[in-house]
Structure 1
Amino acid sequence: MRIARLMRWVAAGVLVLSASFAHAQATPDATVKAAYAATIRSLASTGPKAAPPPWRPPHRDKLMSKGLAALFARDDLYSEESGEMGHVDADPFISGQDGEVKSLRVSVTEPPANGRALVTASFLSFKSPVSVRFRMVEEGGSWRIDDIVNRVEGKDYAVRESLSQPYECGSFMKKPCKK
């Protein structure tokens, strides 16, 4: 009886999660809200079974454009093969290495036009205001994150630009890494 009840709860959870991702991609701001739901879960969990951040599977391919997802996957592969940190050395969703997301507000700051939009997420992290901008693209009938722009000390940093830089080594660079 307990196992059957547990299985129903698991099945219900999977349906809710699937529905939230399906709905999340209907509008540009809903996609970013789904990414922050994953971010909050990730920040709240620890250990080997910690919830993954939005730039890792299973979220990456559901929330990001194919191009941005491929860049994050390449960065992960470099880290795995080299044992070193990739080009993204902080959480782009919180604009820092450590943080929290309190009083989240997500708004469309440039309405959809020609399959593109701009969404801004504003929140408090350790009582300091943080603002992260998301360049959105309509891809395959869904809104996806195509770039993440953080502002640090008055300067904008586009995650796509960082991830597009070459690596010292890696199977994708045709130069093996030495761990």
Structure 2
Amino acid sequence: MTRTYKLAFGLMLALGLAAPALAAETTPEAVVQQIYSGKTPTTKSLDIIDNAKLRAKYLSKDLASAVKKDNDESAKSGDVGALDFDPVSDSQDPMIKDLKIEPLQVQGDKAQVKVSFNTYDPKRDELLYDLVKEGGQWRVFNISKQGSAEDAWSLRQILSLK
């Protein structure tokens, strides 16, 4: 084989091996998995609420803007903002064990993913992630918890978004 053919073959091989990895990163459940990737019983998840770069990467534009506004207003006033807990762990003291991520549906540029895990409470916690495609990437549009009126919440409602 000539040097040119070897280089072309190597490039095709590299692209062929990289393509499945790139495709896997773009699924809604892969995005949610990335958010929880740093989560262990003693560490927090990726901080998509306080970290501006992570907000921009993982949250929809309007949700990221609302979170930033809430953070800025609470920092300015010295009071706790509307968002007074970690929505990724549904707690103020994050601890996640036995994480399960289940894709529910994908319809065009919208998707839902269910996340369940154990925390301090023996009852399993379940959250619903609504995702939208923005700029060709899946982004979190909302995180919510279903259940009784006292337990249910929606990140968009907490931040007064529709």
Task: Give TM-score, length-normalised by structure 2.
Answer: 0.75
CA contact (8 A) 2:96 2:117 kept: yes
CA contact (8 A) 1:118 1:135 kept: yes
Residue of structure 2 equivalent to 1:92: 87
Q: Show the 5 A alignment for 1:124-135.
A: 124-126=118-120, 127-135=122-130
Which protein shows a greater Rg?
2
1:32 and 2:48 correspond: no
Residues 97-156 of structure 1: CA deviation (Å, up to 9, x unaligned): 1231111011111x2112001111101112331101111101111111000102464553
Distance in 2 (alpha carbons) for counterparts of 1:145 and 1:115: 12
Aligned counterpart for 1:145 among listed residues 122, 140, 146: 140
Gaps of 5+ in 2: 1-21
Aligned counterpart for 1:102 among listed residues 73, 88, 97: 97
Say which is worse superposed, 152-161 or 83-92, in terms of deviation.
152-161
Distance in 2 (alpha carbons) for counterparts of 1:68 and 1:35: 15
Gaps of 5+ in 1: 1-21, 46-50, 166-179
CA contact (8 A) 1:24 1:33 kept: no
RMSD of aligned residue pairs (Cα, Å)? 2.4
Residue of structure 2 equivalent to 1:118: 112
Matching residue's letter, 1:79: S
* DSSP 3-state at the match of 2:125: strand
Distance in 2 (alpha carbons) for counterparts of 1:41 and 1:128: 18
Percent identity between the two aligned chains: 28
Structure 1 residue 52: Cα displacement: 6.1
* DSSP 3-state at the match of 2:26: coil
* DSSP 3-state at the match of 1:77: helix
Structure 1 residue 96: Cα displacement: 1.6
For these two proteins, the number of residue pairs brought into alignment is 137
Distance in 2 (alpha carbons) for counterparts of 1:100 and 1:153: 22
Residue of structure 2 equivalent to 1:74: 69
* DSSP 3-state at the match of 2:36: helix
Name segments (4+ residues, structure 1) moved above 3 Å: 22-25, 151-155
